[in-house]
């Protein structure tokens, strides 16, 4: 991908709604353009949500072969993807 499109669907669902608890989040996207191997997404989380001080983890679903997540500062996340079939 060589553009910065708006994602028509971007949802974030917490595993728990208990205030102050350590939590896992399911992040779901639908892109308006085809994503290919080594494309990545970056997003900023609200400052009221604290990322873990250690590395963050993520897991692939559906047609995603592998996914790698990393922190960008204290409120950013970068998600790099490899797809089954290359896209």
pTM of the entire structure?
0.73
Collapsing DSSP to helix, strand or coil, 85 comes out as: helix
Q: Tokens 């080594």 correspond to what residue? A: 38
Q: What is the pLDDT along the chain (87 residues), one digit of tens a residue?
A: 556 666 667 788 888 888 877 788 888 887 777 888 888 888 888 888 778 788 788 887 777 888 899 999 888 889 998 887 765
Structure tokens at 36: 């290919």
CA-to-CA distance for 50 and 32, rounded, in angstroms? 29
Asked if 77 and 71 count as a contact pair (C-beta separation under 8 A), the reply is yes
Structure tokens at 41: 């997404």
In this structure, is the dihedral angle defined by the CA atoms of residues 82, 44, 22 and 25, taken in order, positive or negative? Answer: negative
């Amino acid at each position: 991908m060589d553009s910065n499109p708006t994602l028509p669907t971007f949802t974030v669902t917490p595993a728990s709604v208990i205030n102050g608890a350590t939590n896992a989040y399911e992040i779901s996207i639908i892109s308006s353009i085809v994503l290919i191997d080594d494309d990545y997404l970056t997003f900023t989380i609200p400052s009221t949500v604290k990322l873990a001080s250690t590395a963050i983890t993520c897991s692939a679903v559906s047609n995603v072969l592998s996914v790698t997540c990393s922190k960008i500062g204290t409120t950013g996340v970068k998600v790099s993807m490899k797809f089954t079939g290359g896209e």
